[in-house]
Amino acid sequence: MSISPGIEIGIGTATPRFEDARLLRGLGRFTDDIHPAGAAFMVVVRSPHAHAGITRVDGDAARAAPGVLAVLTGADAEADGIGTLQTMVQRHRADGSPMARPPYRVLATDAVRFTGDAVAIVVGETLQAAHDGAELVAVDYDLRPAVTDVAQAESGPAVWPGDVPDNVSFVFRQGDAAATDRAFAAAHHVTRLDLRISRVSANPMEPRTATGAYDAADGTYTLHAGTQAPHKVRSELAEHQFGIPANRIRLVSPDVGGAFGMKGSPYPEYALVLWAARRTGRVVRWAATRSESFLSDYHARDQVTEVALALDEDGAFLGLRVRVLANLGAYLAFNTPHSSTNNLGGLAGVYRTPHIHAEVRGLFTNVQPHAPYRGAGRPEATYALERVIDQAAVELGIDRAELRARNLVPPEAMPFRTGLVFTYDSGDFPANMRMALDAADWAGFAARRVESEARGMRRGIGVANAIEIAGGPAASPNEEGAEIRFDPDGSATIVLGTHSHGQGHETAFRQIAATRLGLDPARVRVVFGDTATAAYGRGTFGSRSIMAGGGAFVRAAERVIARGRPIAARLLEAAEADIVFRDGRFVVDGTDRGVGVAEVAAASFVAAKLPPGSEFGLGASAIVAPGGATFPNGCHVAEVQVDLETGVVSVLRYLVVDDVGTVINPLLVKGQIHGGVAQGLGQVLMEAIVYDAEGQMLTGSFMDYAMPRASDLPCMTVISNPVPTAMNALGAKGAGEAGTVGALPVLMNAVIDALRPLGVTDVDMPASPHAVWSAIQKARIHKTRIHTKGE
């Protein structure tokens, strides 16, 4: 279908985004753009200490300050019955007992456990009045020792003294330990690597925001907040913080300026604005400043990993063993144990490794809670695997690409049950790698390296195969909801339970509607993000919206077609049995006489046009689970250049061959891959949350926390090698996180490749100029010592 001359729409077309007309002209409406009349402002008083007992919170001076409407503390929240935040992931300790789940209050009462922990809120007539009031809240702290480094957690001061003295929340083991041990015992060679994956903050352009309202007339709350999962956040608030039926809360998540997994959780501030609205009788607004975001958004990654790969004499992978220390932070938020334990299947990669065993120790420290961030465990798993493969290749003297090629799962082995959790349904991994190496001119790299060296630079190339689970869990993928509504003029509204915060769903779902129902995109609206509009949804995470939400849409579309068939038959004066639905139209089989869905929809509201006894309307909805999770996969090749004098790493080339199954919109998929790679590149080369010995964050602003800029990124090549999946009606695999999964390992592999001739075998993440320069100096000193000893 053509939307204007030269622009086609439908599945598979590179349709530009409909939402850009709004977003690029500054017409997007984000939570903080909504200014309800008479709104008051909330400021959160946060702990300046990483760990301290609270001996007094005194809000009297603040209460007396001009323009202050309320000062509320943790004790007030308890008195009002505001419940604690809950985690949805259950794990166990080593002895089999349930994991330690200390209470996560919306405002701390007895102690603060990270710098930024919320202690009180001040509501003011103006933002300034609330800020001034917040400065008058007196809190007496009894300082306690803190631990922020996960490697020190088990020997460090207890974050929950008395309750969890060893800081161990859980120990999670997966895989066959005995078989893995046997594989290692029989190995010709074992390669070991110790890795650190840095702590990062998602830093979306739009900081977190929330506006709460309470209607005393019927006891209902309305929350506007930029979240990825409106229905889920609402049900958590209803069940755990307020103890009311879910239908008493309406959650509206309008335009959202980036979320990246970080905005998928319920946060204390959401409950706080609603509670404050109830207490003050005013609409209450809160928006995090950038510095406050650093201190209050849930962080991600932050693992110490030991990985070992066992190989036979031909380089076949026999077993993989991984031990992870995962930094959970001080509290268990909604998804805190998720990333480090739910996606361990990614350790299998695209390889045949038969035996894999992983152990994850989930540890409390005095930092913010952990949450999923683009990839949520898959980049971490892939990083460990693809880095150890490079190291093994060097130790065995086998070319890195060749070693990978020897171990790839061939397409004819599908469905393939991996050595850990996942069963892959489809994909052509050897073709991905072949295409990537050819397109990146892997063979010509040696000449490019010489050319760089002639200019005093070091050049490195990396390859990494990426695979991830989308729309998991693997065993029982989650259901999603979609609805198609028609107005009497035949225009259609698609109502989604998923949420778009940059992915382009307003375009993608119009494309699916154009192909599946022949609907004119100009007469379609796509809406989401309001629990009062969408009956049901789980939300957007795990790259699931197209495969799960798209599947629900297709089921609803099938229902529309089934409802429309008798109406079409009447309009076409044919027998219902002769009506077929073809190319987006109801047609009389064997003829070119037909009628479109919009016309049938209009007729469905006119009694005279309906078959006798029919119901009015054509709309339909569906809540369905896909047949299975999907496994987007691909191969990344990156080329970097390192300036030995400064340690600066420049990424010169980046290429991805990806398989996201049926591509709905190649333009959107490329954009998603670009964005995912950019976030991976940021983490590998510059981003990191850093604390000092007392637990103070040293990287609390963009002056200290380096974000990647356009000039840090090369022009990327994205090549598609789609193998449709049979797991959902569209054949689509997820695309939203795929870029990040490959970017982490491939970039570090390229950096190490550049520096290996100098004797460098590892660089701390991020490979900042300082880290790279230090690694070079260390290797030089080491070499000089060996040389001197030899003399």
Closest CA to 159 of 367, 361, 304: 367
Taking residues 221 to 250 in sequence order and writing x for each that binds ligand MCN by CB under 6 A, - otherwise, the string is ------------------------------
Candidates 167-175, 256-264, 388-396, 650-658; binding stretch for ligand MCN (CB under 6 A): 256-264
Q: Least distance in Å: CB of 286 to ligand MCN?
A: 20
Q: Return the number of the residue (260 or 317) whose C-beta is nearest ligand MCN.
A: 260
Instruction: Spell out the residues 6+ positions from residue 435 whose beta carbon is closer than 8 angstroms to its own.
Output: 635, 657, 719, 721
Q: Return the number of the residue (602 or 732) whose C-beta is nearest ligand MCN.
A: 732
Tell whether residue 737 is a contact of ligand MCN (CB under 6 A): yes
Q: How many residues does the chain have?
A: 791
DSSP states of 546-565: IIIIHHHHHHHHHHHHHHHH
Helices (H) and strands (E) in the chain, counts: 19, 30
Q: Return the number of the residue (23 or 127) whose C-beta is nearest ligand MCN.
A: 23
Candidates 265-273, 295-303, 706-714, 726-734; binding stretch for ligand MCN (CB under 6 A): 726-734
Q: Least distance in Å: CB of 440 to ligand MCN?
A: 23
- Tell me how many residues contact ligand MCN (CB under 6 A): 34
Instruction: Spell out the residues 6+ positions from residue 6 whose beta carbon is closer than 8 angstroms to its own.
Output: none
Q: From CA 388, how far away is CA 403, in angstroms rounded?
A: 12
Residues from 466 through 525 that contact ligand MCN (CB under 6 A): 501-505, 508
Candidates 36-44, 96-104, 597-605, 729-737; binding stretch for ligand MCN (CB under 6 A): 729-737
Q: Return the number of the residue (22 or 240) whose C-beta is nearest ligand MCN.
A: 22
Q: Return the number of the residue (221 or 541) whose C-beta is nearest ligand MCN.
A: 541
Residues from 143 through 202 that contact ligand MCN (CB under 6 A): none
Tokens of 717: 């090549």
Tell whether residue 343 is a contact of ligand MCN (CB under 6 A): no
Question: Which of residues 36, 103, 258, 473 is near ligand MCN by CB under 6 A?
Answer: 258
Q: Return the number of the residue (207 or 734) whose C-beta is nearest ligand MCN.
A: 734
Tokens of 348: 């299998």
Q: Which residues pair with 587 in a beta bridge?
A: 580, 594
Q: Return the number of the residue (356 or 668) whose C-beta is nearest ligand MCN.
A: 668
Q: From CA 586, how far away is CA 561, in angstroms rounded?
A: 8
Taking residues 609 to 648 in sequence order and writing x for each that binds ligand MCN by CB under 6 A, - otherwise, the string is ----------------------------------------
Tell whether residue 552 is a contact of ligand MCN (CB under 6 A): no
Question: Which of residues 87, 222, 241, 545 is near ligand MCN by CB under 6 A?
Answer: 545
CA triplet 343, 347, 352: central angle to 5 degrees?
Answer: 130
Q: Least distance in Å: CB of 505 to ligand MCN?
A: 5
Pairing state of beta strands 492-496 and 168-175?
A: unpaired
Q: Least distance in Å: CB of 645 to ligand MCN?
A: 37
Amino acid at 393: A
Candidates 110-118, 187-195, 535-543, 581-589; binding stretch for ligand MCN (CB under 6 A): 535-543
CA triplet 85, 502, 118: central angle to 5 degrees?
Answer: 25
Tell me how far CA of residue 50 lies from CA of 141, 149, 342, 395, in angstroms.
Answer: 11, 12, 29, 43
Q: Return the number of the residue (260 or 442) whose C-beta is nearest ligand MCN.
A: 260
Q: From CA 640, how far away is CA 418, in angstroms rounded?
A: 32
Question: Which of residues 207, 481, 542, 551 is near ligand MCN by CB under 6 A?
Answer: 542
Question: Which of residues 374, 404, 510, 570 is near ligand MCN by CB under 6 A?
Answer: 374
Tell whether residue 735 is a contact of ligand MCN (CB under 6 A): yes
Cα of first residue to Cα of last residue in the chain, in angstroms, is 77
SS3 state at 102: coil
Tell me how far CA of residue 779 lies from CA of 426, 640, 759, in angstroms.
Answer: 43, 19, 5
Q: Return the number of the residue (508 or 598) whose C-beta is nearest ligand MCN.
A: 508
Closest CA to 48 of 128, 123, 138, 173: 138
User: Edge to edge, what strands does the sheet with 457-467 contain?
Assistant: 457-467, 633-643, 649-659, 716-720
* Peptide bond before residue 354 is cis, with ω within 30 degrees of 0: no
Q: Which residues pair with 304 in a beta bridge?
A: 196, 325
Instruction: Spell out the residues 6+ positions from residue 413 whose beta carbon is closer than 8 angstroms to its own.
Output: 352
Segment holding 751, helix H or strand E: helix 738-755
Q: Return the number of the residue (242 or 267) whose C-beta is nearest ligand MCN.
A: 267
Q: Return the number of the residue (375 or 594) whose C-beta is nearest ligand MCN.
A: 375
Tell whether residue 541 is a contact of ligand MCN (CB under 6 A): yes
Q: Return the number of the residue (600 or 668) whose C-beta is nearest ligand MCN.
A: 668
Q: Least distance in Å: CB of 62 to ligand MCN?
A: 36
CB 91 within 8 A of CB 341: yes
Tell whether residue 208 is a contact of ligand MCN (CB under 6 A): no
Closest CA to 220 of 194, 252, 176, 173: 252
Amino acid at 246: A
Candidates 382-390, 442-450, 453-461, 539-547; binding stretch for ligand MCN (CB under 6 A): 539-547
Q: Least distance in Å: CB of 736 to ligand MCN?
A: 2
Question: Which of residues 637, 732, 750, 755 is near ligand MCN by CB under 6 A?
Answer: 732
How many CB atoms sit inside 10 A of residue 105's CB?
A: 19
Residues from 87 through 116 that contact ligand MCN (CB under 6 A): none
Tokens of 742: 């490959």
Tell whether residue 358 is a contact of ligand MCN (CB under 6 A): no
Residues from 259 through 298 that contact ligand MCN (CB under 6 A): 259-261
Candidates 25-33, 244-252, 658-666, 704-712; binding stretch for ligand MCN (CB under 6 A): 658-666
Residues from 661 through 680 that contact ligand MCN (CB under 6 A): 661-665, 668-669, 672, 675
Q: From CA 497, how far away is CA 480, in angstroms rounded?
A: 7
Taking residues 675 to 714 in sequence order and writing x for each that binds ligand MCN by CB under 6 A, - otherwise, the string is x---------------------------------------
Q: In the bound complex, which residue of the shown chain has the CB atom lying closest to ligand MCN?
A: 502
Q: Least distance in Å: CB of 737 to ligand MCN?
A: 5
Question: Which of residues 59, 462, 736, 745 is near ligand MCN by CB under 6 A?
Answer: 736
CB 731 within 8 A of CB 667: no
Q: The tokens 């975001």 sit on which residue? A: 293
Q: The tokens 């230090």 sit on which residue? A: 774
Q: Return the number of the residue (267 or 541) whose C-beta is nearest ligand MCN.
A: 541
Closest CA to 201 of 673, 675, 688: 688
Q: From CA 413, how far away is CA 610, in angstroms rounded?
A: 52
Q: Return the number of the residue (346 or 734) whose C-beta is nearest ligand MCN.
A: 734
Q: Least distance in Å: CB of 273 to ligand MCN?
A: 22
Segment holding 521, helix H or strand E: none
Q: Return the number of the residue (230 or 675) whose C-beta is nearest ligand MCN.
A: 675
Tokens of 20: 């850009």
Q: Return the number of the residue (460 or 661) whose C-beta is nearest ligand MCN.
A: 661
CB 309 within 8 A of CB 207: no
Q: From CA 762, how far away is CA 756, in angstroms rounded?
A: 9
| DSSP secondary structure code for residue 206 in this structure | S
Q: Return the number of the residue (435 or 767) whose C-beta is nearest ligand MCN.
A: 435
Q: Return the number of the residue (93 or 733) whose C-beta is nearest ligand MCN.
A: 733
Q: Least distance in Å: CB of 647 to ligand MCN?
A: 30
DSSP states of 476-488: SPPPEEEEEEE-T
- Interacting residues with ligand MCN (CB under 6 A): 258-261, 374, 501-505, 508, 540-546, 660-665, 668-669, 672, 675, 732-737
